[in-house]
Structure 1
């Protein structure tokens, strides 16, 4: 349901949703195949949690911006995510303005990296 809400927020914006994964294993595979610029990933996912998937994604594609989605912004989760390469956080329940602001910042960092 959260993927659907997030997709709905992005529908009329400048972002193209190129894929959705139901679990961490599928997310790592999908990012490897589709090579998106930005990934929004839940911290809590079945089969492989978001932080484990984040670490794998960043190891394979260090330039991808990974934004973690979480219902809990506890310091341990935030610190572990940052240590593994997270670019930002979106706290549930979603606030459209905050989601779009977080994605705009990630887009800006991508543009700065490109020659």
Structure 2
């Protein structure tokens, strides 16, 4: 359910910047999401379609770019990419790990049509 509040924030950010740019409409919104974030693309899309009705974002397409998760072993300093949740270090087997990439979430860019 937290995707609703996340999507509302995306809409607020998009509207703010689109209005500052003199947009007639927003055509595309590009999002960057880390693989370890709990954001579900389909849920964001569902809420986006619902909350953008009667706004300049109504027909805007969402584009999702996923950033892979990367860990750093605190013992041997090995960096490695993971696909599904934390795993032991492939170099030394330690579970003393720190996430260094994969929890990101931001609006990367917004495409608009301007008033003519």
Alignment TM-score, normalising by the size of structure 2: 0.33
Structure with greater proportional strand content: 2
If you compute each CA radius of gyration, which structure gives the higher value, 1 or 2?
2
Structure with greater proportional helix content: 1
Alignment TM-score, normalising by the size of structure 1: 0.33
